Structure 1
Amino acid sequence: MIIIQRYGCQRRLRRRSRLLLTGAVSGGNSMSSTVGDNVGRLRRLRGLTQEQLAEAAGLAVETIQKLEQNKPGSPRMSTLRAIASALAVPTSALVGPAVAGLAAGPGSDDDKIALGLLRRALTPARGLSGMTVGHVSVSPPTVDGLQRSIAEIDRIYHGDDYASALARLPVLIGAARSLVDASSGDQRTTSAGQLAQAYQIAGTTLIQLRSFDLAHHALNLALDVADESGNELVAASVVTTMCWMLLRQGRFDEAEQLAVATADAVEPRFSRADPTRLAVWGWLMLRGSAAAIRDGRADDAGEMLDAASAAAARIGEQLPADVALRMPVTMGAFCAVTVEMKRVEMSVVAGDPVTALALAERVPPGSGRATSDNRNRHQLDRAWANAERGDLVEATRILSGLRAKSPTWLRHQRYAGDIVTTILTRRRRPVSQELAALADLLGAGS
């Protein structure tokens, strides 16, 4: 009887597997769960056309088209393996319920699936003696090729395309790991520093999406690998991201202590003017200042901002291209404009809209090398100050500009929702169309 029951169970499992491959079983999930749907979704997340995926998998484009259109017929397992390899995911990730279960929580389906794939890359299943399963084999890139990939994903992140950044990060991490494993000597230390930067971008993206626990894990991995590389500036760059995460979590005292201690360890000699060291140190001063002002110590915050300003002035407006390429992720964005934007932010945190607006007038024209995140945050600060001063029309105009330019970034900002709620509360006129659109995007006033 037991044998019969076991056989019947195996038969049902085999039948279910066939149904999953043909898309006949949904797994009870509202997300697309057919193999074809998931191939199409993962292909788009990777930024590939059907032709490019077919070429990478060594298949006819008609095969990809037929699969994505969910036409009758079960794909061969060899076909699925080839597609999975080209997409740098496990073959099991093409099966609907497996992909649907990768992530949960708010956000689009693409965000959820991409976040799940990144979670797999950062937290592989482990067994005895450090054994891991689930890693996808990736051919080692060149050091220069890997650096270009790091810069490209950093660009995608700062273009607010978080789903694409999340989707590409597992491939980047896998490639960086394979290069470290295949290298020795100086190349191994260099590639270890690059792997640390890959983990850092992952942590940065996860912080933006408020996945703080997974971000913390990614940044700890980055620090471990940075130690192996022996590059203290790469490690210190990772610390700046760690401090940002602590700030987002309200852990101000820890953020300041970490920033100051790390800044002391890498303090530059201004007479030698090493741009990379100056930039890393300057960012740490900005993080320390942000923590101090939030902890109610304006004098300490001001001193650290002044120190950062001196570092930015020493670097100058023009950063040689070869220096920018050697810098850790986002360090090249440190500049005088960034510092002055943070000075405005300091007044906002202190609750002084008058000073904030006056300082905003002094922000140098143009954006310098400031990242889109910092430029957008500066616009939120201007919107807040205008709202506090009673100019609700100007505050709404600034926010509408952000909605038109950076809607994805704006949607993830609770600060923006607070400003819109303030405007809605204080308005004396009916809600305008643009204010209603902002409230809808941010879920404000509901």
Structure 2
Amino acid sequence: MSVASLGERIQAVRKRRGLTQRDLATLSGVSLGLVRKLEQGEREDTRLETLRKLATALRVPTTELVVRPDADDAPQETLDQWAPVRAALVGKAGPEPEEAPTASGVALAAQNAMPLFAQDAFTELGLLLPALIRDADALGKQGRQIRSRVLHLTGWLLTQTRQFDAAEMALQRALDDSADRLDTAATVNTWCWLLIRQGKLEKTLNLSAQWADETEPRMSRATLAELSAWGWLLLRHSTASVRNSEPGEADDALSLAGAAATRMGREFAPPADFLRTFGPVTVAMKRAENAMIEDHPDVVLSLSEQIPSEGLLPTSNNRNRHRLDVAKANVKLRRRSEAFEILQEIRNASPQWIVNQRMARDIMGNIVAKRRTLTPEMREMADFLRLEF
């Protein structure tokens, strides 16, 4: 594998295409100054979104330009908060329980914790999970199914908070314990999301394609759970494809996911597992996400008008992420007041979620940069999102 730097890769492909730096800047929408800094090695890395724009202009997959994953590490404050969870994952002993855990007791504790996961109650979960993980581990072979579920949820949560190495450990352990085909597919779906957040697009594409093939149901008699599992893997494949500058592949996967959603006829939202929520609305929101990645803010806003504003849980899996796309589209169209209102809406619904979203900080950063003066509410939001000036 080539060890060329990012700048060397961009420059080599640009010259093969017969483009000047200015040509590349114009075609990609990336500033000429940034193109020059990247090629001259003054910037050793950049956002995955920027790489996708450059790759599209150069007519190569994004992965041809990637040198290292575009993945923020969690801030020290987050690492400190989740240290007990990571310790439990690697088997470090905690307080001795008063009595030995039982499979039914651990299952009930996990079930009672589900509302906290669905509400992104990170503080409460950080306190609850260490004991839950240790109790699930103590069950041995008889606790495989519930342990797999607890570890899957833990991996999902650690991905949310950008603790990627720990998330990978939790998801790998969840897969090792999984004995149910649909449970395994759901865990793979979360793993694909982890890989996307790390910028590992090729691995995402291979994994999602493999598992979509393995889980594809017979449409005439498929259950809602089977359609949900298959549909989500297709959505991950579509998301990775559009980020990898493969719009045709992205559209094909999205169309298949849409067929699964149409077959369902409604949103499937199992009360005991919000991670498997899937249906026509979910597909519509992912279609808007793809449009935002391709820098079509007008399409995002048009699609958002067709998505119900009521009756959807404000979870990070669906509505909150979509609302961030809508906020970003508004910023692109210079409707910054509307974008700020959406940030406030998300904060009111899921304050512990939005503070972990770099996309929210980017949107707020644009609002701050383009306004002469900030309202008190804007200054407070910038502080809340830990915006760096």
**TM-score, length basis structure 2:** 0.75
Higher mean Cα deviation, 393-402 or 213-222? 393-402
Q: Distance in 2 between matches of 1:210 and 1:444?
A: 17
Give the SS at the match of 2:318.
helix
Given that 1:367 and 1:375 are in contact with CA atoms closer than 8 Å, whether structure 2 keeps it comes out as: no
Change (3 A) 1:317 1:336: same
Q: 1:353 aligns with which of 297, 305, 308?
A: 297
Given that 2:118 and 2:274 are in contact with CA atoms closer than 8 Å, whether structure 1 keeps it comes out as: no
Measured against aligned partners, the alpha-carbon deviations of 1:63-117 in whole angstroms (never above 9, x if no partner) come to xxxxxxxxxxxxxxxxxxxxxxxxxxxxxxxxxxxxxxxxx95227xx725x222
| Post-superposition offset of 1:358 | 0.7
Which position in structure 1 is the counterpart of 2:176?
224
Q: 2:162 aligns with which of 193, 200, 210?
A: 210
| Post-superposition offset of 1:335 | 2.2
| Post-superposition offset of 1:123 | 0.7
Q: Which has the larger radius of gyration?
A: 1
Give the SS at the match of 2:134.
helix
| Post-superposition offset of 1:390 | 1.1
The answer to whether the aligner puts 1:122 opposite 2:71 as a matched pair is: no
Q: Distance in 1 between matches of 2:131 and 2:264?
A: 34
Q: 1:334 aligns with which of 275, 278, 300?
A: 278
Change (3 A) 1:235 1:320: closer
Q: With CA pairs under 8 Å and 6+ residues apart, which has the higher RCO, 1 or 2?
A: 2
The answer to whether the aligner puts 1:255 opposite 2:198 as a matched pair is: no
Whichever residue aligns with residue 173 of structure 2, its letter is: L
5 Å matches for 1:99-178?
Answer: 106-107=76-77, 112-113=80-81, 115-124=82-91, 136-137=96-97, 139-143=100-104, 145-178=105-138
Measured against aligned partners, the alpha-carbon deviations of 1:105-143 in whole angstroms (never above 9, x if no partner) come to 5227xx725x22212211125xxxxxxx66845623344
Q: Distance in 2 between matches of 1:135 and 1:432?
A: 48
Given that 2:152 and 2:170 are in contact with CA atoms closer than 8 Å, whether structure 1 keeps it comes out as: yes
Change (3 A) 1:311 1:147: farther
5 Å matches for 1:17-416?
Answer: 106-107=76-77, 112-113=80-81, 115-124=82-91, 136-137=96-97, 139-143=100-104, 145-181=105-141, 183=142, 191-226=143-178, 229=179, 231-317=180-266, 319=268, 325=272, 329-368=273-312, 371-416=315-360
Change (3 A) 1:180 1:330: farther
Given that 1:286 and 1:304 are in contact with CA atoms closer than 8 Å, whether structure 2 keeps it comes out as: yes
Which position in structure 1 is the counterpart of 2:50?
none
Q: Distance in 1 between matches of 2:103 and 2:165?
A: 32
Change (3 A) 1:238 1:332: closer
The gaps in structure 1 that reach 5 residues or longer are 1-103, 126-132, 184-190
Give the SS at the match of 2:162.
coil
Given that 1:140 and 1:175 are in contact with CA atoms closer than 8 Å, whether structure 2 keeps it comes out as: yes
| Post-superposition offset of 1:418 | 0.7
| Post-superposition offset of 1:318 | 6.5
Which position in structure 2 is the counterpart of 1:434?
377
Give the SS at the match of 2:77.
coil
Considering only aligned residues, what root-mean-square deviation do their CA atoms show, in Å? Answer: 2.3
Given that 1:147 and 1:194 are in contact with CA atoms closer than 8 Å, whether structure 2 keeps it comes out as: yes
Q: Distance in 2 between matches of 1:389 and 1:192?
A: 50
Whichever residue aligns with residue 141 of structure 1, its letter is: T
Change (3 A) 1:388 1:105: closer
Q: Distance in 2 between matches of 1:331 and 1:314?
A: 20
Change (3 A) 1:148 1:208: same
Q: Distance in 2 between matches of 1:370 and 1:272?
A: 31
Given that 2:137 and 2:147 are in contact with CA atoms closer than 8 Å, whether structure 1 keeps it comes out as: yes
Given that 1:285 and 1:308 are in contact with CA atoms closer than 8 Å, whether structure 2 keeps it comes out as: yes
Given that 1:335 and 1:370 are in contact with CA atoms closer than 8 Å, whether structure 2 keeps it comes out as: no
